[in-house]
Amino acid sequence: MAVRADRAQDLARIHVEAIGGEERIAELKSLRASGHVTAGDKRVRFTMTAARPNLIRLETEGGGRTLVQGSDGEEPAWEFDTGSWPPQYRAMAPATAKTFVADAEFDDPLVAAAARGYSLDFAGEMKIDGQSFLRVLVTGSRAATFSVIIDPRTYFIVMRIEQRESAGGRKAQVVTHYEDFRPVDGVLLPHQIAVAINGKVTQRTVIDRIDANPELAEDTFRRPRAAAKPGKS
């Protein structure tokens, strides 16, 4: 067990160096990404703003309206739709919020894993289309376990494999693929992400641009409050 943990720690260390090193990663405190998401025959534009450790705001445009979702890491995740007026600043449905918050982690699981409450175990090699990859099991503070798959040629994380539960209680295997790594202020980040559920690709994300450390308003991630109704005169 100790050998597996030591090997996993070694892989995490090499991975951190491969994507830019501790210093550059630490200097990347926030980012703003824009691009498009394709799901089936639908395609929408998005802008995502994120900050360490787990703050996120996602604006998705489609059909002349924008769905805004966010989490400040403290209050429940929230959302509102600009197609409704007046806007209803509501808490997300619990199942949606759980996934949204889980995906809000700014750093990947191998960056400062122990400090963030993750334990790592090396789970051996696996073959995909004849090529060998390295598998690391990641267990979070809430005992949720998932795998990250590392390409031994680059030491980038190219896949994440996990079990997720739908709102109806059904479990499914979710595999997230990461491709097209490009430098963002010296840190290599994926610019193409595909999500497959039970072996079928359901969503593809293409990121056109990522800005490092953008200027952020104080309330960027905070749930908006409805304006108070004016008092009767």
Using one digit for the tens of pLDDT, what is the confidence trace for 39-86? Answer: 999 999 999 999 999 999 999 998 889 999 999 999 999 999 988 878
Nearest residue to 37 via CA among 213, 233, 228, 202 = 202
| pLDDT number for residue 167 | 63
Percent of the chain with pLDDT over 90: 76
In terms of phi and psi (left: phi > 0; alpha: psi -120 to 50; beta: otherwise), the region of 40 is: left
| pLDDT number for residue 232 | 45
The CA distance from 95 to 172, in Å, is: 14
Q: For the CA atoms of the chain, what is the radius of gyration?
A: 19
When pLDDT is averaged across residues 156-167 and rounded to a whole number, the result is 89
The CA distance from 35 to 154, in Å, is: 25
**pTM as predicted:** 0.89
| pLDDT number for residue 91 | 94
| pLDDT number for residue 62 | 86
- Average pLDDT of every residue of the chain: 91
What number of other Cβ atoms are within 10 A of residue 4's Cβ?
15
Q: Is the pLDDT of residue 227 over 60?
A: no
Nearest residue to 66 via CA among 96, 45, 38 = 45
Please check whether residue 66 is in contact with residue 82, taking contact to mean a CB–CB distance below 8 angstroms.
Answer: yes
User: What number of helices (H) and strands (E) belong to the chain?
Assistant: 3, 13
| pLDDT tens string 109-160 | 999 999 999 999 999 999 999 999 999 999 987 668 999 999 999 999 999 9
Nearest residue to 28 via CA among 102, 84, 101, 108 = 108
Q: Name all domains of the chain by residue range, CATH numbers in brackets.
A: 2-53+105-211 (2.50.20.10)
| pLDDT number for residue 137 | 97
| pLDDT number for residue 3 | 65
When pLDDT is averaged across residues 17-22 and rounded to a whole number, the result is 98
Burial of 178 (0-12, 13-18, 19+ CB in 10 A): buried
| pLDDT number for residue 228 | 47
